[in-house]
Structure 1
Amino acid sequence: MHLPDISPRHRSLVRAIAVAGTSALALVRSRDFAPEHDRAARLGNAVANAGLTWIVGTKAFAGPLDGEFDLGAVWGPGEEDEGQAVRYSTVDPREQAEKAQSFRNLTTAFASGAFSWALWHPTQNFADTIDAKFPTGFGRGLGAAASGTFVAACAALLDKFEEHDQIEDLEYAPVEIELPEHIRGAVNQLLAQPHPVSAEAADTARAQFKSARFFVWVTYSRTQHPGDEPITLDARQLAELLRDEDVSNIDVYPEASSALIVPAQQTYPVVGTQDADASARLELTLDIVDGRLSSLNLFGTDADSPPRTSAELSTAAKSGTLHPLGLGGDGVGYSSSFEVEDEEFDDGPLTLAQWPEPNQLTFVADRTNCHHEHQQQAPGAEAGITGTHHGCTEYE
């Protein structure tokens, strides 16, 4: 059985009742009742305090309007794993958490009533002492105003907590974009370079790129864009999302009817490079998955290539030798031509606007593929005719 609670949609009414009730309760004095009615007044005060305590612990007073914000049970933390998914169980963990919060609220309200009963005479004596120092009615009015203001301030403070929580409630999701012209131009120029293996593969990649849709992952605020359904952004909102977003990958979705690229899994064997400084450069690459363009990538790369063959390794080392400074002696224990060295590219996010223009790139064919094709013989090799060599050079 779910313990009763008040829905957040009644927030204004519940908060008004809490403020008014607390103020009114502060006006009550034991001297207003005949001695034979003291016990009834004491009980009424205890019940009223318990009721007001329960009201300020409900979702309507302390919960969020959108249902996302959770004070973790207003009256203290719940179970250690509260709110986590329960495996192999038909029990809804969210419902369990709500029951636990309602139970704590009801328990706290009962405790408040009990304390009010126990402290009835001490608090009334203290209030009478304060009243005696002020003109008639002033002490009561001051107490009522202070009590009501305190409850109202608590409500405002809870709203501030909710607002702060929502500001921090950021999500990460893909958004469709129109590919900026300078990036489209750079990729078109890359795909226009002679393919080191297959002209047909280049034609297929160009056709896929021309028909593709493009997505980038962005961080967005749940407060501004709530819900789980797709959200249509206007140009200003999209520009705001992309303005400071670090984008090193753009996901590509060609048409389903597009011809497939062979090999199906590869990095396109022409890359665009831009020198960043003497020790590093940016590299534009295209990934192909299942025969289709999958992503455009712009990474920082280490210009000093690590050892690739045994001839580049130290001849003094032997099996069991540990290399704390890495095999290249540069202090890096691992390296890759597609890894970003953070210390060299830490000037801020790489936004779409900062991707290089076509004329800033040098296009380089995969020399491994070029060499491989150069060694192959085309049909008619028995007549001494070799396959065409497309060139293993750099293209400006």
Structure 2
Amino acid sequence: MRFPDIPPRHRRLVRTVTAVGTAALALVRRRDVAAEHETALRFATSLANAGLTWFAGTRAFADSDFGELDLGGGRRDAGAPARYQTWEPTSEDELSPFEAEDARAKAFRNACVAAASGLVSWAAWTPAENIAEAIDAKLPAGLGRWLGAGASGGFVAVAPILIDRLQDLDATGLQDLDYAPVEIELPSHIRESVNLLLSQPHPVTQDTAEAVAEQLETARFFVWVDYPRAEYPGNERIVLDADQLAEVLRDEDIERIDVYPAASSPRVVPGTQTYPVVGIRDSADQDPGVSAATELSLSIVNGYVDAIWFSAPDSEVSVSDDLPDASVPGTLHPEGLVQESEDAGYSSSFEVFDEDDYTTVLATWPGPDQLSFRAEGS
């Protein structure tokens, strides 16, 4: 039974139905029917057990909102403007192929477990009835029947609660993480660095820098983070307080800040470009583990600032001088165009590294005193 798979707002209903149904089945004994109807009762009991098992493991109550949960408590409107925004698929067609395949696999496993439960119930019918009748013979009339029903229903009611408790206590286990954008205030040192970048002479017209600066003045900013689904369930927006926001950002590798300017902001021309001035953090200013070549840059799409980037620049330049000499149109290169030198020795594509050394958290983005600037073409 996969009670934790049921969305939280439906668990009480599912658990109540399964507990009551199991207790009701335990009340029915073979002595309650004539001998010629015993097989039919046995089959009906097995079928009911299979149905309850399937019911306890299905996502039939997830609805079209994929388990949307109203958190309540007024938390949604409290605190700073920091909130998650998650996808809300409305049908299996909107799931990724992997998610759809996983959903089908879970449904198949649940059906198999339900069928197995029915078969076990059928096989255990006679031994279980013999044991129950032996117990009844030593107890006052009817007491054994009700004790059995209470024990069966109580076990089904308590088991999922214990499962939930074990999951909560398993702090060292793998967390069910999800990935979503969270709104942030642009950190002051990053804003100062961007402003300094925009104050540099523009290769064409300073009007572009002024338009970008005006867009950033009223823009909203988002970064994508992993977060524990168990701690923040549902697909509604979740407002985080300062400590919660700091926690989800603490070790997050962030190279891009998504920018959403106001529609009334002046557009930049040309509409799609990388802003032609970039900020370069010199290798002498790098933190341990950060790539020696890192640039602060702005990308512009459809006339609006799309993102602020801090990452290693594209270092490889493709020119014809690097191509093999003995190549003409129609030449197939099974091993690619760039060949490793025979004197370079063995090189493995598998590398072991400490991921923490390569994490770019927002606090490690460069301040204005760490940047030098380069204009396009210089």
The 1:127/1:183 distance shift into structure 2, 3 A limit, reads: same
Alignment of 1:221-260 (within 5 A): 221-260=228-267
Q: What's the CA shift for 1:191?
A: 0.9
Report whether the alignment pairs 1:53 with 2:60: no
**8 Å CA contact retained: 2:50, 2:116:** yes
Contact 1:53 1:108 in 2 (8 A): no
CA distance in 1, matches of 2:165, 2:58: 12
The correspondence for 2:13, drawn from 6, 10, 14, is 10
What per-residue deviation string (whole Å, max 9, x for no partner) do you get for residues 236-275 of structure 1? 3322222222211111222322222222221111111122
2:265 is matched by which residue type in structure 1?
Answer: S
Structure-to-structure mapping, 1:215-294, within 5 angstroms:
215-274=222-281, 275=283, 276=286, 280-294=292-306
Q: 4+ residue stretches of structure 1 with deviation over 6 A? A: 160-164, 342-345
CA separation in 1, counterparts of 2:19 and 2:332?
75
Name stretches of at least 5 consecutive residues in structure 1 with no aligned partner: 1-6, 70-82, 87-92, 332-341, 369-391
Q: Is the 8 A contact 2:19 2:156 kept in 1?
A: no
CA distance in 1, matches of 2:264, 2:57: 54
Deviations, residues 20-65 of structure 1 (Å, cap 9, x unaligned): 446656xx686xx9xxx76178469637734751563363x44569
C-alpha displacement of 1:14: 2.9
- The match for 1:295 is 307
1:200 aligned partner, one-letter code: D
Question: One-letter code of the match for 1:237?
Answer: Q
Is the 1:307–1:327 contact (alpha carbons within 8 Å) kept by the matching residues of 2? no
> C-alpha offsets along residues 332-384 of structure 1, whole Å, 9 cap, x if unaligned?
xxxxxxxxxx9899524321112122212221111x2xxxxxxxxxxxxxxxx
Task: Write the deviation string for residues 51-108 of structure 1: whole angstroms up to 9, x where unpaired.
Answer: 751563363x445697358xxxxxxxxxxxxx8439xxxxxx9xxx9xx99xx69x95
Aligned pairs (5 A) from 1:78-93: 84-85=92-93
Cross-structure match for 1:387: none
Matched residue type, 2:359: P
Q: Is the 8 A contact 1:173 1:218 kept in 2?
A: yes
How far apart, CA to CA, are the structure 2 residues paired with 1:182 and 1:46?
73
1:286 partner amino acid: L
Residues 323, 29 of structure 1: CA spacing in aligned structure 2 closer, same or farther, 3 A cutoff? closer
Aligned to 2:80: none
- C-alpha RMSD of matched pairs (Å): 5.1
Residue 359 (structure 1) aligned with residue 355 (structure 2): no
1:190 & 1:53 partners in 2: Cα distance? 69
User: Is the 2:30–2:38 Cα contact (8 Å) retained in structure 1?
Assistant: no
Cα pair 1:62 1:155 within 8 Å, conserved: no
* CA deviation after TM superposition for structure 1 residue 112, in Å: 5.7
CA distance in structure 1 between the partners assigned to 2:189 and 2:233 by the alignment: 33
The letter for the 2-side match of 1:296 is I
Structure 2 residue 212 is the aligned partner of structure 1 residue 202: no
Deviation at 1:192, TM superposition (A): 1.1
SS in 1 for 2:374: strand
* 8 Å CA contact 2:49, 2:118 repeated in 1: no
Alignment of 1:31-46 (within 5 A): 39=35, 42=38, 46=42
Q: How far 1:193 moved relative to its partner?
A: 1.1
1:330/1:207 Cα in 2 relative to 1: closer, same or farther (>3 Å)?
farther
Identity %: 36
TM-score when scaled to structure 2? 0.60
Q: Which amino acid aligns with 2:300?
A: I
Residue identity in the other structure for 1:215: F
Find the structure with the greater CA-based Rg. Answer: 1
Task: List gaps (5 residues or longer) in structure 2.
Answer: 1-9, 68-90, 95-99, 343-350
Taking a change above 3 Å as real, the CA distance of residues 313 and 348 of structure 1, as seen in their structure-2 partners, is: closer
- Higher RCO, Cα 8 Å, sep 6+: 2
Corresponding residue for 2:75?
Answer: none
Do the aligned partners of residues 111 and 183 (structure 1) sit closer, same or farther apart at CA in structure 2, a change above 3 Å counting?
Answer: closer
